[in-house]
Structure 1
Amino acid sequence: MVMKFALLPWKPELIFTGTSVMGINPKTQKFCSHMDFWDSIRQNDYFSFEGLLAVVKQLRIYKTPDLETPKYEILKRTSDYEVRKYDSFVVVETKGDTLSGSTGFNDVAGYIFGQNSLKDKIPMTTPVFTQASDGKSTPVLIQIVLPMNKELDSLPSPIKETVTLRKVAENIAAVTKFSGKPTEDIVLEKQKALRSALLRDGLKAQPGCLLARYNDPGRTWSFLMRNEVLIWLDDFELD
């Protein structure tokens, strides 16, 4: 279930996944009870402090730009992470330096600003991804997601040989969200904590991770920044 909390000016999304158990009166054949069991808490009594805290944590302010993002469906939300099913999308990418670095961004941004074989300008999207193949800080690829209506074979070719286009297949990822400036140490610590949570929960994590940065660091206060660490999963099945 996803719902907007309209009482706050920034209208945060409240996300709950789990199981609903409905009781039926055998005499009247009508529903007589209803209990929800959230994936994000262990104490599922009618009222629990843990449940209240799970709601309050989701009221935090994150500034997400009004730009197109990769489409995904939230399959499960625990206290530590979300499991999302991403549709396929296309990225323009080049080599970077570190997960939190910006080396290579001007090259991939140049592609969408017209440095391509057709000199086409392509709408900006969010987030900017940096992908590490082994979960460490180097080497990485820095990526900009292209609009969802763009297919790989219909896009102009990059002018720079170091810039390439690639289609990311539909896949399922575990995601943890955080605010603040995503320094290298913080990103690696978030990745480590997420991987530990997945191991604890018996999920099969692929090597490597992605850092998703949604905001322009020069125009966004750090406490409003939306950052995410993603780890792709193998063989995920809902309970």
Structure 2
Amino acid sequence: MDGELFPRERTEITPGAVHVPDWLGPERQRELLDACRDWARPPAGLRTVRTPGGGTMTARQVCLGLHWYPYGYARTAVDADGAPVKPMPGWLAELGREAVAAAYGAPHRHPEPHRHPEPCPHPEPYPDAYDIALINFYDGDSRMGMHRDAEEKSGAPVVSLSLGDTCVFRFGNTASRGRPYQDVRLRSGDLFVFGGPARLAYHGVPKVLPGTAPPALGLTGRLNVTLRVGGLGTGPG
């Protein structure tokens, strides 16, 4: 937020989990939003995710690279229109690598100039490229229950980018969905990376704060772009 008395600082929430505020500047946020709007169009576009028990997720989703469904991956939108999943763009995979470097303090290029973070202990680097993106759209009433990102075979860090409305992001432990956990407010442009000992931590979004998106962005609601390394090879579908 412009004009804050105390600028928000990069914070290690727990070993391996790092919040980097304002990592994407306004121009890069608009570019990413425009790309998300293209990806959301059919075929294999934005869909409502239905769970095996018959419930539905309140956040709608579109996937790149591989299609996530509860609880696995496929090369087609097996729980939607059956179309081949859209490819993972090279520039988005590179953004994932830059994000990990920014969070963990390694030398890197920034998408836009901003303060270099202080180095911190971090998981070992992974040579494989980011090859999966899950893009979740939250309106004001959407939530995401506590869950783990456990369908990947790679232990590479998960990269989370926020656009639009601020959310309360609940980051927990690896043993259960309950306490201990920490609530972090993620604003438009914020980066959150979790890997190493935090890679399989439970996390969720208990609340979105409507009307908090930057007016110039032109987005009502929240978009979360989550980048992963699958390590899966050729999937089903």
Task: Specify if TM > 0.5.
Answer: no
Larger radius of gyration, structure 1 or 2? 1
Q: Which structure shows the bigger proportion of residues in strand conformation?
A: 1
- Which protein has greater RCO, CA pairs closer than 8 Å, 6+ apart? 2
- What TM-score comes out, normalization by structure 2 length? 0.30
